[in-house]
Amino acid sequence: MSKYKYLPVTEEDREAMLKTIGVQSVDDLFADVPAAVRFNGELGVEKALSETELYRFMRGLAAKNTDTKSAVSFLGAGVYDHYIPSVVGHVLLRSEFYTAYTPYQPEISQGELQAIFEFQTMICELTGMEVANSSMYDGATALAEAALLAAGVTRLKKIVVSEAVHPEARDVLKTYAKGQGLEIVVVPARNGRTDIDRLESAIDDQTAGVIVQYPNFYGQIEPLKELEPIVRKGKKSLFIVAANPLALGLLKPPGRFGADIVVGDCQPLGIPAGFGGPHCGYFATTKKYMRKIPGRLVGQTVDEDGRRGFVLTLQAREQHIRRDKATSNICSNQALNALAAAVAMTALGKRGLPEMARQNVLKARYAARRLREAGFELVYDGPFFNEFVVDVKRPVSELNKALLKKGFIGGFDLERIDPTMKGRMLVAVTEQRTREEIEAFAEALGGLANGNE
């Protein structure tokens, strides 16, 4: 009998199969592996556990983590604790979806293809763009790919990026830029938003693209209307906006402000924080750049009987056809998480998404008010979505340790990214937080920061 529940070949099978192959043993099938590179002995990997033992062990590992279901989280900075309708998990567990791969054979992949076609449509709706792809790894790599597209179509090398774009997205952009020999110019923020004067002086005829975030890393809503004409001062430069798709339930879409490319991460829509991944990047643009878009696209067509169906299309852009001339090297993407986002967008729907977005704004507003009442100042005075920066007067890391003892996961410590931001906490308040939790948090933070405890 087999020792392993995933390995069905029995001794009897093995004998019969070896006979058909015409060899004496399985070893004979490895005769072409030179002795000098053979691995002798047993791999030093951890020992096998039975299912019961393994589940117990993994539960033990998980239990060493403090999760946001047991602590009350005000931590965001690009990854948020949001309502995930139960239906999302149930659809993802339909194994016809999760045990399939890229839909190369459309006749038996219509489910995946149609779900992604619907996803593409929803992303277009939210962003106000004409075309969206089937997903990217995450918002940051989508942003980097947007920069590569801009450099490719303009044949220019300079990318201007706002300091108020997520710092890790800027880091990823820098790594991609190195490969392509792009120059990255970072424009500082002023009062929590992209400094318009500095932006203007950074843009010239050599600029391939300008990247801002909406709402930005500090939660502030960038004035896209004022930024767009400045971007156009670069004769060729593309306007690239990284946007939180949930915020777009309420905010005017970047497409209405003339964005050429809109990217972002669908994590707020049906995808748990998951220690930072897997999440799901999206990439949307105009028809003009449709044939330059990275990654897979699903298109509608008809079968031989005229019946509607869906296929992967415009594949001449992709690596398996174009190899070194492809628009990107991306192959596997985040399809299952795009499905999660599509299900969440369907569940929330036309009314739920704006309602959820509104609750974020209102609760963040309320939290800001309570924190002000507790003696803190908001560092920036512009309009914000569900995040704001507060001056907590003491090192955030210390406060967060104390908050944790009271059952709170505090906000992001901005000193981590900028030593001049000591004592600045980026507080995220989603629809998940109750009034009671917000009040208790403001009270706890007030007590700690004012040295009452």
Instruction: Report 72-111 residues binding another protein (CB under 8 A).
Output: 73, 75, 77-79, 81, 83, 85, 87, 89-91, 93-111
333 binds another protein (CB under 8 A): yes
Q: Cβ contacts of residue 449 below 8 Å, gap of 6+? A: 375, 376, 392, 393, 394, 399
Give the helix/strand (H/E) hosting 312. Answer: strand 308-312
Question: Could you say which of 124, 230, 259, 448 contacts another protein (CB under 8 A)?
Answer: 124
Cis peptide before 188 (omega within 30 of 0): no
Task: Specify whether the backbone of 9 is left (phi greater than 0), alpha (psi in -120 to 50) or beta.
Answer: beta
Q: Does 191 bind another protein (CB under 8 A)?
A: no
389: three-class secondary structure by DSSP: strand
Task: Confirm if 196 and 226 have CB atoms less than 8 A apart.
Answer: yes
- Cβ of residue 210: shortest distance to another protein, in angstroms? 19
Q: Does 378 bind another protein (CB under 8 A)?
A: no
Least distance to another protein, CB of residue 189, Å: 18
Q: State how far the Cα of 176 lies from the Cα of 144, in Å rounded to an integer.
A: 6
Our CB check for another protein shows the closer of 234 and 442 to be 442
**CB closer to another protein out of 1 and 302:** 302
Helices 396-405 and 435-449: crossing angle in degrees, nearest 10, is: 120
Residues 270-329 that bind another protein (CB under 8 A): 272-278, 280, 290, 296-311, 313-316, 318-326, 328-329
Nearer to another protein, 197 or 355 (CB): 355
Nearest approach, Cβ of 450 to another protein (angstroms)?
A: 22
Ranges within 240-259 binding another protein (CB under 8 A)? 248-253
For residue 152, state whether it binds another protein (rule: CB under 8 A): no
In the complex, what is the shortest distance from the CB of residue 235 to another protein, in angstroms, rounded to a whole number? 26
Q: Map the footprint of another protein across residues 199-218, applying CB under 8 A.
A: none
448: helix, strand or coil:
helix
Nearest approach in angstroms of CB 205 to another protein is 24
- Strand 207-214 and strand 158-162: the pairing is parallel
161 binds another protein (CB under 8 A): no
Q: How many Å from the N-terminal Cα to the C-terminal Cα in the chain?
A: 65
Q: Which of residues 52-71 bind another protein (CB under 8 A)?
A: 54-55, 57-71
The CB-of-430 to another protein minimum distance in angstroms stands at: 11
Residue 192 in contact with another protein, rule: CB under 8 A: no
Report CA torsion sign: 370, 372, 376, 381: positive
> Nearer Cβ to another protein, position 234 or 251?
251
- Residues contacting another protein: total by CB under 8 A: 209
Q: Which is nearer to another protein, 118 or 163 (CB)?
A: 118
Amino acid at 245: P
Site for another protein in 391-420 (CB under 8 A): 397, 400-401, 404, 409, 412, 416
- Tally of CB atoms within 10 A around 10: 11
Minimum distance between the CB of residue 385 and another protein, rounded to whole angstroms? 9
Of the listed pieces 187-195, 196-204, 356-364, 373-381, which binds another protein according to CB under 8 A?
A: 356-364
The span of 120-128, 228-236, 386-394, 441-449 binding another protein (CB under 8 A) equals 120-128
CB of 447 to another protein, least distance (A): 20
Residue 188 engages another protein in binding (rule: CB under 8 A) = no
Which segment (190-198, 232-240, 266-274, 441-449) binds another protein by CB under 8 A?
266-274
Q: What Å distances lie between residue 200 and 62, 212, 232, 248, 311, CA to CA?
A: 49, 13, 10, 26, 43
CB atoms within 10 A of CB 448: 21
C-alpha torsion 276→213→411→266, nearest 10: -40
233, burial (CB in 10 Å: exposed 0-12, middle 13-18, buried 19+): middle
375 binds another protein (CB under 8 A): no
Pair type for strands 238-243 and 424-428 = unpaired
Figure out which of the listed residues 147, 149, 161, 343 binds another protein, where binding follows CB under 8 A: 343
Cβ closest to another protein, residue 125 vs residue 183: 125
Q: Read off the tokens for 267.
A: 């994590």
Our finding on whether 155 is near another protein (CB under 8 A) is no
Query: Binding to another protein by residue 386, rule CB under 8 A?
Result: no
Task: Name the 3-class secondary structure at 362.
Answer: helix
List binders of another protein among 9-38 (CB under 8 A). 9, 13-14, 16-18, 20-23, 26, 28-34, 36-38
> E strands, 319-443, where?
377-378, 387-391, 408-409, 412-413, 424-428
CB atoms inside a 10 Å sphere around CB 49: 12
Q: Which of 1, 11, 24, 350 binds another protein (CB under 8 A)?
A: 350
Q: Which two tokens stand for residue 35?
A: 């002795």
